[in-house]
Amino acid sequence: MVNEGKRILILDDDPSIRAVISEVVYLSGMEAVATVEGHDTVARYEHEWVRGNPFDAIILDLNVVGGWGGREALTEIKKINPEVRSLLISGYQDEVEEAAREFGFKYFLTKPFDAMMLLWGIGRIVSEN
């Protein structure tokens, strides 16, 4: 598998979506680390960055109920690593396209998406030069 061994950090507040994304990532030979809220995502990203074990990519849900979502998390993570590879996901088509442009996400997916679309998105972001 092309992406085997890659480390992916996931932010989604919906437990079922978080579990499905994590499972698809894992079954594809990659390591999945999932978080529920953006502050935790940023803290985990920074911890691994400082340890010298950075994530290869991050998948961020645009909106998180009661906390930081993908916008806020990406803004802070870019302070740690301006070259972070990120994929934005959301159930809101119009909002996700606008946010992707505004906050510098290179790729986005609109929920619902299937495993093949998710793997395509991951492949795009981890293979960037």
pLDDT one-digit tens code per residue, 49-101: 999 999 999 999 999 999 999 999 999 999 999 999 999 999 888 888 888 88
- The domains located in the chain, with CATH, are 7-126 (3.40.50.2300)
Q: What is the pTM of this model?
A: 0.93
Contact call for residues 39 and 88 (beta carbons, < 8 A) = no
Cβ(35)–Cβ(10) under 8 Å?
Answer: yes
61 DSSP β-pair partners: 89
Per-residue pLDDT at 14 exceeds 80: yes
Instruction: Please determine, for residue 128, whether its predicted confidence score (pLDDT) is greater than 80.
Output: no
What's the mean pLDDT when you consider all of the chain?
A: 93
